[in-house]
Every structure is written in C-alpha cells, then in structure tokens.
C-alpha cells in the first residue's frame, strides 16, 4: 500500500528550518520560522507560563479527560482576550484546538459541512499552510490581491476590486493583525470598508489571529477582529496561543464561531465538538490550562502582559534599527517600510534569486518569498543583514 504514496511537497517554512540547522557556517542568521527569539537567540519560557505550570504540577489532581470542546473556562478566557465584549457570549460556539493550525483546520472542516459550495478567499500572499490545507480538503478557493510590492504596503484598491467578485456565502480569510507573511496591515478605516463590503456581499469573514500582542499591543491588535465580530451576523475566528504565550509545542488554540443567535450557537457548538471527536477526540489540555490560569489570575496576567509588551517593544526597536542601518548604508529611505510593518514578519519584497544569494553569500536564512522573522535579529546581526541586503542589490 505504501508504495503508492507520492512524495509530498515540502513545507517552505519548515524545510528552511532544516536547511539552517544543516548549514555548518558559524556566522548564519535564522529569519525563517515564526518563533520569537530573545537577543541571545533563545526562545524563553515566559515567566507567567512557568509559574502557571508550577501551580498546575502542585495542584492538579487528575489527568482525566476534559470535554470534547476542551475546558469551558479556557473558551471563556480566550473569548474575553480576543473579543472582549464585542459579541454576546451566547452567540459564540467555541472549541479548544491543537494550536492555531488546528483551529484553521477545524474551521475549514466546518465550512465544508455547512457550505460545501462556498469559495474560501485568501490574501495573496498568505501563510502557505492556508492554501495547503484548503487544497488537501478539496475546498474551492480564490485569491485577492493584498501586497503592493512597490510600496510594501497593502494594495487596498486591488484587494477591494478583487473582493467585488465574492458571492453570497463565500468565506473571506483575513489576518486579524500582524499579517503573515508581509507585516503590512489594513488601517482602521480600511477595515470598516472591508466589513461593509463583506456585509453587502453576504460573505462570511474568517479571521486568523495568531500574533495578538506582537503588533500595536494586546487590545489594539484585537480591535479589527472585534470590529468584524460586532459588525457582522456570522464569522469564524481562529486564534493561536503559540506566539503570545510562547507555548509553541503545547499546541494551544481556539476556534470561535460567532453565530446569529443562541440557537445557531448551540448547533455550531455541537458540530465543533463533533469535529473534534472525529479528528482527535479531546483537544490538548496542558497549554490551554496554563493560558486559563494566567488569564484568570490578576498577578500572573499582569506579569504576562508586561513580558509580552517587552517582546513587542523589542521587535519594534529591531525594526527601527534595521531601517536606520539601511538608510545609513544606502542614503535612501526606501527601506523605511520595515519600521512601519507590524508583527513578527516583514516581506522585503525581493526575488527568490536574491534571497538565495543572501543565503549563499551571508548565511541569511529568510523564506523564499523574502519574508523575514524580525525576532530572529539582534543588534549584532542587524548590520550583517543590512549589508547582505545592500550587497545583493535589493
Ligand atoms: C510561521 O509562519 O512561521 C509560523 O506560523 C510557524 C508555522 O507553523 O509555519
């Protein structure tokens, strides 16, 4: 049976991780996978996470199953973090999922059950695993323009023009904040326009929010998601705890279905629990319980927010230093967009050939579409990257 298997396409981001590890050069810079690193290159366990884990070790007296939807306290805490009071709780169905990817997968399975004819619209570009899972599930998809490679900002006119073609019931996937891979984000006014268009078209927004707290702050980064959820009758929201709690390997995420009313929420809740059962039964609990512990304990929450804010401000400083260094080397402000982008990533906006040249000549590892993980930099490697960018003639 296994002889019939075709080789699967390698994931671009994960294969870059392997290539970086295999490179014997001392001087190499990893700007690949979206994992936060501090100035010494480590991905630390956050203080509040350690404390919450310790508390769990001491106090937890069972490892028996939770419910199929996960611990309801986790759903409540995460709905509060992401949505605040934008939507009445009774209109929301929610399940814990294995990471943000699990939430995306469950959302797509839900779409397939509820609206098999719907086309899912993706930004071009988007996180490569979005189209990959959509294709794997055989769901119709289409793209809308998003990135303007001249300004390295959002091609908003192109986006709105492409979204004119959506049909009633189609699903439009939007990044709630910190767009991956570009770092270019919609303004508040643009979000209002998008919401008005989706309402007029009777389309369903599907928000992927994986970097809340990495852009302009925890509340500011949730603003667009809240605006969408409050402004439409129905939407889907996939949220990840991997990055903002730094619990990547614990696989902690949540899928929320915002529905028209309590009755629809009950139906969505039942289907989400059913989908969890079909795919893995009970969702992972450890990370979810850590998150719940932090979010519901005022002292732990304050410490988590403070550490996350340090991380965010550190990334903003790195962005500014890189833009400054490039201005110094080129006497030109054309790289200022790096300081304006938000989140973990910036798309440099160059060719795969020049990305490869920077890897060969300077040991710089960025994704082939020129996505850089800003958190992979430090004060020592900024001049190395800036020099590589200039030498390559970007
Ligand atoms: C990324 O985009 O690098 C992260 O979301 C990690 C991943 O799973 O691809």
Average pLDDT over residues 65-93: 97
Mutate to test the pocket of ligand 1, among 12, 14, 32, 34 (most ligand atoms within 8 A of CB): 34
- The confidence score (pLDDT) of residue 249 equals 98
For residue range 203-248, list pLDDT tens digits in order.
999 999 999 999 999 999 999 999 999 999 999 999 999 999 999 9
What CA–CA distance (Å, rounded) separates 141 from 252?
27
Among the listed residues 243, 375, 388, 392, the single catalytic one is 243
Q: Give the domain 65-296 fold.
A: 3.40.640
* DSSP bridge partners of 148: 153
What CA–CA distance (Å, rounded) separates 163 from 184?
18
- Cβ 126 under 6 angstroms from ligand 1: no
What CA–CA distance (Å, rounded) separates 196 from 231?
8
Average pLDDT over residues 332-357: 96
Give me ligand 1 centre to Cα 265, in Å. Answer: 30
List the domain boundaries for the chain: 11-45+312-392, 65-296
pLDDT-wise least confident of 4-13, 100-109, 290-299: 4-13
Decide if 11-45+312-392 and 65-296 have a common fold: no
What CA–CA distance (Å, rounded) separates 186 from 175?
9
Mean of the per-residue pLDDT values of the chain: 97
Mutate to test the pocket of ligand 1, among 12, 16, 30, 33 (most ligand atoms within 8 A of CB): 33
3-state secondary structure of 336: coil
End-to-end CA distance of the chain: 48
What CA–CA distance (Å, rounded) separates 63 from 30?
38
| CATH number given to 11-45+312-392 | 3.90.1150.10
Number of Cα atoms under 13 Å in the Cβ half of residue 264: 13
Alpha helices in the chain (DSSP H): 12-22, 47-59, 72-83, 99-114, 129-137, 156-163, 188-201, 218-231, 262-279, 286-296, 298-330, 337-340, 352-362, 382-392
Task: Please indicate, yes or no, whether the overall pTM of this predicted structure exceeds 0.75.
Answer: yes
Give me ligand 1 centre to Cα 11, in Å. Answer: 10
- The confidence score (pLDDT) of residue 285 equals 98
Give me ligand 1 centre to Cα 34, in Å. Answer: 5
Token pair in block for residue 123: 């930004």
- Cβ 98 under 6 angstroms from ligand 1: no
Check if 208 is active-site: yes
Check if 76 is active-site: no
Q: Whose CA is nearest to atom 2 of ligand 1?
A: 34
- Cβ 182 under 6 angstroms from ligand 1: no
- The confidence score (pLDDT) of residue 8 equals 92
């Amino acid at each position: 049976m296994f002889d019939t298997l075709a080789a699967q396409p390698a994931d671009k981001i994960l294969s870059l991780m392997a290539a970086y590890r295999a490179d014997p050069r001392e001087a190499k810079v990893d700007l690949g996978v979206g994992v936060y690193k501090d100035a010494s290159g480590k991905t630390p366990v956050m203080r509040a996470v350690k404390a919450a884990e310790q508390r769990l070790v001491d106090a937890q007296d069972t490892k028996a199953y939770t419910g199929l939807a996960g611990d309801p306290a986790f759903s409540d805490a995460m709905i509060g973090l992401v949505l605040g009071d934008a939507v009445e709780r009774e209109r929301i169905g929610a399940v814990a999922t294995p990471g943000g990817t699990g939430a995306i997968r469950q959302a797509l399975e839900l779409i397939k059950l509820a609206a098999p004819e719907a086309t899912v619209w993706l930004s071009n570009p988007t996180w490569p695993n979005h189209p990959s899972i959509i294709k794997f599930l055989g769901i119709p998809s289409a793209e809308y323009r998003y990135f303007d490679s001249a300004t390295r900002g959002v091609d908003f006119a192109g986006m709105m023009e492409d979204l004119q073609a959506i049909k009633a019931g189609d699903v439009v996937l939007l990044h709630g904040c910190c767009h991956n891979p570009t770092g270019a984000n919609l303004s508040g006014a643009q979000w209002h326009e998008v919401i008005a268009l989706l309402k007029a078209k009777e389309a369903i927004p599907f928000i992927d929010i994986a970097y809340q707290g990495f852009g302009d702050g925890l509340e500011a980064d949730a603003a667009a998601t809240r605006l969408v959820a409050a402004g439409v009758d129905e939407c889907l929201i996939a949220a990840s705890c991997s990055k903002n709690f730094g619990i990547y390997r614990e696989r902690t995420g949540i899928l929320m279905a915002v529905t028209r009313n309590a009755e629809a929420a009950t139906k969505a809740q039942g289907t989400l629990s059913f989908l969890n059962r079909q795919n893995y039964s009970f969702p992972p609990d450890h990370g979810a319980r850590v998150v719940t512990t932090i979010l519901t304990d005022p002292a732990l929450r304050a410490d988590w927010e403070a550490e996350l804010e340090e991380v965010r401000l550190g990334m903003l400083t790195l962005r500014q230093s890189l833009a400054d260094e490039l201005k110094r080397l080129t006497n030109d402000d054309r790289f200022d967009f790096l300081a304006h982008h938000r989140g973990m990533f910036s798309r440099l906006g160059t060719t795969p050939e020049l990305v490869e040249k920077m890897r060969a000549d300077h040991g710089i590892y960025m994704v082939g579409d020129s996505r850089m993980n800003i958190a992979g930099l430090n004060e020592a490697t900024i001049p190395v990257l800036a020099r590589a960018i200039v030498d390559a003639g970007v």
